[in-house]
Structure 1
Amino acid sequence: MALIGEALISASVQVLCDKITSALFVDLFWHKKLDKPLLMKLNNTLLTLNVVLDDAEDKQIVNPAVRKWLDELKHVVFDAADLLDEIDTEALRRKLEGEDQTHKLTNKVWNFLPSSRNHFYQSMNVKIQELLQRLESFVQQKSALGLREGAGRQVSQKTPTTPLVLEPCVYGRDEVKEKLSKVLLSDNASKDDVSFLTIVGMGGVGKTTLARMLYNDDNVKGHFTLKAWACVSDYNDCIKITKTLLEAVTSKPCNTENLNLLQEDLREQLRGRKFLFVLDDLWNENNQDLNYVRVLFITLGTRGSKVIITTRNKNIASVMQNVPIQYLEPLSPEDCWLLLSKHAFGNEKCSAHPNLERIGKQIALKCRGLPLAAQTLGGLLRCNIDSEEWNRILNSSIWELQFETSDIIPALALSYHYLPAQLKLCFVYCSIFPKDYEFEKEYTIQLWMAEGLIPQVENANKMEEMAQNYFDELSSRSLLQKSNKSGFTMHDLINDLAMFMSRGFCLRLEERESLKVERVRHLSYARGELDVAPKFKPLYGAKSLRTFLPTSLDPY
């Protein structure tokens, strides 16, 4: 099942309509450079299509013809965006030439070449006419597909502000936390000087949350002379893993690739110290690499040192463990409801809304005990006391979808489905960030603004404030999460969801499934020490690229 992201279309249509009616375009009409009736007709056609997009997104779930209609419309809308950007660039050039006295000579030169300018606008009018014809065919098809104005789902609007602060909450993990805390505080947990506590469970079940609870426990803090946390999901060789561990200890960049030097530096840092390491989200199944890490810690650690490992793979845990593996089970239905209701009602008692409590417990059952699912749906329903909306989510056909990748949890897809279009656009843009990538709030909202994902307003400060509100809203819905440090991350499964919804338009160069990049608009790549031309050869055909962003998991 490949759902088409209506938000990519709807938000883009709004941007296009704003641009057509902007002061720059009005100036072009005034000088009769562009055919005003033609552009107004384009504007009206876009609006006519926009009002049925909500209905189309709902119906595409069960109707392949609607899904195909949306997919093809998406391409035409983005072609329209490219065309208007071309006109917009010319309009800005004219404005700068008119305002900057240093361009007087340039203007005089252009006056000798009127045919060049006229040819540009004539060609634009022809392209607008062709685009209009393509869009009108979609208008004709919408009636045949049964698409109706205002018939789609209601989106979950911005959460109302409240003085009540929703603190992070965990349910159903007290017993396992107490059990593992005793192991951490024991210097004789295993026959080795260093004990490996492995936490195994499916994605979204709360492995990282449990590890963080243990890591930040006051009793645990006082028991170790050194604590370090390293996310190791992206590393698949001994050098990278050793560098990551060393940088986690020193909080400094490490530039050497010499394994012997890395080991010696790490040995010096750990010598005579009782340490606690967390290796979060370990994926590397190579037994040689796993044994290397195991031996490395055992030879460096003093008695009582501990390593907590979280992984989805029980085979990895079997290789690493020297104390019994901790299998983390899904939450009970009761605990899952408590977590969902906490995010939905904040500090208000859910018993004040018995009808919602009845529906909510049924929704919690569908979360299958996954805390991540309960959190995101609770964020979706927060401060919403409309029982019809709760029932709509309970009975949504999205619960029954079979996605092409098993990592897409229906509850997460629902949380995305009911986001306002502009929030969807900002969310899927974040799919260009690699998994485990830590991004800053200010940097991210500046990217959103630069890419035109935030509605244009005259006051730049208000525009930035709006972007900050979007970011806070995504965070309150658990789609963006605060990291251990000062930045934010996306849970792996949330990242998978964003990638799934943005396929074909947002891309990480290292994740590409094929060389078809013609339609890609936002792209990131992992920065290397030497980024040479052959690395970017697949991008030669990327004609619509708007973002070319280097990223690195190295925070330094």
Structure 2
Amino acid sequence: MAESLLFPLVRGVASKATNALVQTVTRMCGLDDDRQTLEHHLLAVECKLVNAEEMSQTNGYVKSWMEKLKAVAYEADDVLDEFEYEALRRKSQIGNSTSCKVLGYVTCCSLLLFRFAMSKKLEAVLGKIKELVEEMNTFGLENSGSREYQQHPWRQTHSKLDESTKIFGRGDDKEGVVKLLLDQQDQRMVQVLPIFGMGGLGKTTLAKMVYNDQEVKQHFELKMWHCVSENFDVIAIVKSIIELATNERCDLPDNIELLQKKLDEVTGQKRFLLVLDDVWNEEKRMWDDELKPILCSVGLPGSVIVVTCRSKQVASIMATIKPHELAFLSEEDSWELFSNKAFSDGVEEQLELHTIGRRIVNKCEGLPLALKTMGGLLSSKKQVDEWKAIEESNIGANVGGKYEVMPILKLSYKHLSYEMKQCFAFCALFRKDYEMEKGMLIQLWMANGFIQEDGTMDLTQKGEFIFHELVWRSFLQNTKEVLSSAYSVSSKYETVVFKMHDLMHDLARDVSNECATIRELIKQKALVKNVRHLQMSRVKLEKICGLFDGRTSVRTLLAPSRIQHRFLHQDIKRLPYLLPFVSLRALRWQSVRVSFNVENAKHLRFPKT
């Protein structure tokens, strides 16, 4: 599905070719004819892309052509960006001078040098795109219009939405789990209660309901929540639990004996509840020999660990209490959840829509994530024919496999606007269960040109709109407000953070092949060739440099704050001089000031240079 993001890329580059600043500088340099030729070629390609995408599903030759087109489109974007940068640079030099027209003052020497360099770059791009257009004309592609889809009007209340007040069909589950937790008060050893079930059933939601229950709050002196996901690393887990218990950073060395003593110290005189969310490890030895002896020998009597997992095998390995298997929602609970989304945006609950909706709900087979996603999609469809088209799509849940909800999620993704598709796919850059900050994410979207002004909103407002749309349709989840310097420049300000459901993260990785982490590339022994958005990690600079082969098209380079180690402080300062980041749009490396030369900083939007 990754090719579906090519259309907005080509359209964005074609739009940049018409930018007033770009036109001004190309005319000054005598290159405006070439700019117009590039624009016309891009528009010709744009008209054929929808049909090309469909054909690429079965035609490997067309698929290869689209990959080449993507590379050329990015190259063209860089060239046009340089013209725009030059216009802004000259405008900045002139300032508000009334003696010269804007962009009018320029020495002959500098103009000639710039024209010479840019004419070669523009000519090279034109040559490549002409070849691709000629090749495209042999495919017999049909013209087709943009497949934009209707967007919701702005919803002011979404960032404040408390989803716990709109949870359907889990009241009995919550009561049962709470009773089990409270009944362990006389148990000397820490007890382990798994909650298991297939993806999309709401295991994490149930765990949160229990975690925030008033009786549970009063019963347990200490409550901690750690998301494990696929990283079942004992030292990392124990360190995280210590930090949660103390609300302080754990700077102890990676020595399990020291960590065990510290854990006993901070939990030994407290009855605690620990939630280990989204556990995947099925190696009995790792639990029995490494983690269980540490976690189950601390705390006061009555302490409990709640584990959420998809696998019955994981549940059986870790359980000391009979696991709680989460069931599918009943038909009526499913309808309540679906209709709460589908009819919330002015869509009238007509009899015919009600009938079609019931059949769609049956196809979701009681899966909450599928029901919320479909309801969010249909809330933007007000016509019976639109509902019928969705009903007739292949949206069966295919219960039992890892991707049982994927047909539904992919259908909902298909109906996003192209801007929303790009913004959602970009989230594949972050690892599973990573806590993202809304304001930062919107700035990264803006820096990469995913958001376009539409005359009624500025870029920031448009980014807010897209964010709330993705939350509403359940592509982004678990939003909350925090008051922490870890997320904001000043702790005076609240900021919104959020996560993605792991199935949504799988979908983002499926629709984007441009996001990667350094660790993934090292593991796969792959070069940073087609990667546009790169996540750094705790890896020596020498290994990082080995992934680059000449010019790179990386546009986003990020490092999470948790890996700010001394050797990385030094390494990141050297990166701009050792790696050719000539296309970089966004750089985030907290607490370190990075110096770029002019060539490497031309395209940089974030942070502002």
Class of the TM-score when normalised by the shorter of the 2 chains: 0.7 to 0.9
Report the CA distance between 1:133 and its aligned residue: 0.8
**What is aligned with 2:119?**
122
In structure 2, what is the Cα distance between the partners aligned to 1:391 and 1:41? 43
**What is aligned with 1:287?**
284
**What is aligned with 1:18?**
15
Amino acid at match of 2:270: R
Say if 2:37 is the partner of 1:41: yes
- Structure 2 residue matching 1:281: 3-state secondary structure: strand
Q: Cα–Cα, structure 1 residues 483 and 249, in superposed 2: closer, same or farther, change >3 Å? A: farther
Contact 1:336–1:364 under 8 Å retained in 2? yes
Say if 2:151 is the partner of 1:157: yes
**What is aligned with 2:371?**
374
Q: Cα–Cα, structure 1 residues 398 and 215, in superposed 2: closer, same or farther, change >3 Å? A: closer
Contact 1:524–1:548 under 8 Å retained in 2? yes
In structure 2, what is the Cα distance between the partners aligned to 1:347 and 1:546? 37
In structure 2, what is the Cα distance between the partners aligned to 1:154 and 1:394? 20
Contact 1:33–1:121 under 8 Å retained in 2? no
In structure 2, what is the Cα distance between the partners aligned to 1:68 and 1:125? 23
Contact 1:330–1:369 under 8 Å retained in 2? yes
In structure 1, what is the Cα distance between the partners aligned to 2:394 and 2:370? 16
Corresponding residue to 1:523 among 520, 531, 534:
534
Say if 2:390 is the partner of 1:393: yes
**What is aligned with 1:269?**
266
- Structure 2 residue matching 1:299: 3-state secondary structure: coil
**What is aligned with 2:236?**
240
- Structure 2 residue matching 1:488: 3-state secondary structure: strand
Contact 1:159–1:383 under 8 Å retained in 2? no
- Structure 2 residue matching 1:539: 3-state secondary structure: coil
For each residue in 1:215-240, what CA deviation from the matched residue of structure 2 results, as whole angstroms up to 9, or x when unmatched?
11122111111111111124333211
Say if 2:536 is the partner of 1:532: no
Q: Cα–Cα, structure 1 residues 162 and 244, in superposed 2: closer, same or farther, change >3 Å? A: closer
What is the TM-score when the length of structure 1 is the normalising length?
0.86
For each residue in 1:232-283, what CA deviation from the matched residue of structure 2 results, as whole angstroms up to 9, or x when unmatched?
1243332111101111222221121222222222212212211111110112
Report the CA distance between 1:285 and its aligned residue: 2.9
In structure 1, what is the Cα distance between the partners aligned to 2:480 and 2:303? 21
Q: Cα–Cα, structure 1 residues 174 and 408, in superposed 2: closer, same or farther, change >3 Å? A: closer
Corresponding residue to 1:339 among 337, 341, 348:
337
Contact 1:317–1:325 under 8 Å retained in 2? yes
Q: Cα–Cα, structure 1 residues 383 and 155, in superposed 2: closer, same or farther, change >3 Å? A: closer
**What is aligned with 2:226?**
230
Alignment of 1:475-514 (within 5 A): 475-483=471-479, 486=482, 487-503=497-513, 505-512=514-521, 513=524
**What is aligned with 1:384?**
381
Report the CA distance between 1:10 and its aligned residue: 2.5
Contact 2:72–2:129 under 8 Å retained in 1? no
For each residue in 1:43-81, what CA deviation from the matched residue of structure 2 results, as whole angstroms up to 9, or x when unmatched?
233233334444555565577676555444333322322
Amino acid at match of 1:501: V
For each residue in 1:405-436, what CA deviation from the matched residue of structure 2 results, as whole angstroms up to 9, or x when unmatched?
84771111111111000111111111101111
**What is aligned with 1:327?**
325
Q: Cα–Cα, structure 1 residues 114 and 297, in superposed 2: closer, same or farther, change >3 Å? A: closer
Alignment of 1:162-241 (within 5 A): 167-168=162-163, 169-187=166-184, 192-241=188-237
Contact 1:509–1:524 under 8 Å retained in 2? yes
Alignment of 1:85-164 (within 5 A): 85-99=81-95, 111-112=108-109, 116-137=113-134, 140-141=137-138, 144-145=140-141, 147-150=142-145, 155-159=149-153, 161=155
In structure 2, what is the Cα distance between the partners aligned to 1:391 and 1:141? 37
**What is aligned with 2:440?**
443
Report the CA distance between 1:442 and its aligned residue: 0.9
Report the CA distance between 1:187 and its aligned residue: 3.1
In structure 2, what is the Cα distance between the partners aligned to 1:297 and 1:194? 8
Contact 1:195–1:306 under 8 Å retained in 2? yes
Amino acid at match of 1:537: G
Contact 2:6–2:70 under 8 Å retained in 1? yes
Contact 1:517–1:541 under 8 Å retained in 2? no
In structure 2, what is the Cα distance between the partners aligned to 1:397 and 1:50? 28
In structure 1, what is the Cα distance between the partners aligned to 2:228 and 2:397? 33
In structure 1, what is the Cα distance between the partners aligned to 2:246 and 2:481? 15
Contact 1:407–1:493 under 8 Å retained in 2? no
Q: Cα–Cα, structure 1 residues 379 and 426, in superposed 2: closer, same or farther, change >3 Å? A: same
In structure 2, what is the Cα distance between the partners aligned to 1:334 and 1:502? 36
**What is aligned with 1:303?**
301
Alignment of 1:42-57 (within 5 A): 42-57=38-53
Q: Cα–Cα, structure 1 residues 158 and 409, in superposed 2: closer, same or farther, change >3 Å? A: same
What is the TM-score when the length of structure 2 is the normalising length?
0.79
Q: Cα–Cα, structure 1 residues 140 and 284, in superposed 2: closer, same or farther, change >3 Å? A: same
Amino acid at match of 1:380: L
In structure 1, what is the Cα distance between the partners aligned to 2:419 and 2:353? 28
**What is aligned with 2:571?**
none
Alignment of 1:254-265 (within 5 A): 254-256=250-252, 257-265=254-262
Higher relative contact order (CA 8 A, sep 6+): 1
Q: Which runs of 4+ in 1 moved over 6 A?
A: 62-65, 107-110, 162-166, 347-350, 553-556
In structure 2, what is the Cα distance between the partners aligned to 1:40 and 1:314? 61
Q: Cα–Cα, structure 1 residues 69 and 98, in superposed 2: closer, same or farther, change >3 Å? A: same
Contact 1:200–1:312 under 8 Å retained in 2? yes
In structure 1, what is the Cα distance between the partners aligned to 2:396 and 2:170? 26
Say if 2:313 is the partner of 1:315: yes
Extract unaligned runs of 5+ from structure 1.
102-106
Report the CA distance between 1:318 and its aligned residue: 1.4
User: Percent of aligned pairs with the same residue?
Assistant: 35
For each residue in 1:518-538, what CA deviation from the matched residue of structure 2 results, as whole angstroms up to 9, or x when unmatched?
121111122x2x643224422
Contact 2:196–2:312 under 8 Å retained in 1? yes
In structure 1, what is the Cα distance between the partners aligned to 2:85 and 2:434? 33
- Structure 2 residue matching 1:549: 3-state secondary structure: strand
In structure 2, what is the Cα distance between the partners aligned to 1:30 and 1:354? 61
Report the CA distance between 1:287 and its aligned residue: 2.8
In structure 1, what is the Cα distance between the partners aligned to 2:17 and 2:351? 49
- Structure 2 residue matching 1:548: 3-state secondary structure: strand
CA-atom RMSD in angstroms: 3.4
- Structure 2 residue matching 1:196: 3-state secondary structure: strand
Report the CA distance between 1:462 and its aligned residue: 2.0
Report the CA distance between 1:500 and its aligned residue: 1.1
- Structure 2 residue matching 1:232: 3-state secondary structure: strand
Q: Cα–Cα, structure 1 residues 334 and 222, in superposed 2: closer, same or farther, change >3 Å? A: same
Amino acid at match of 1:546: R
- Structure 1 residue matching 2:224: 3-state secondary structure: strand
**What is aligned with 1:104?**
none
In structure 2, what is the Cα distance between the partners aligned to 1:75 and 1:408? 32
Q: Cα–Cα, structure 1 residues 450 and 124, in superposed 2: closer, same or farther, change >3 Å? A: same
For each residue in 1:124-161, what CA deviation from the matched residue of structure 2 results, as whole angstroms up to 9, or x when unmatched?
3422431441342365246x13x3423x7562423454
**What is aligned with 2:424?**
427
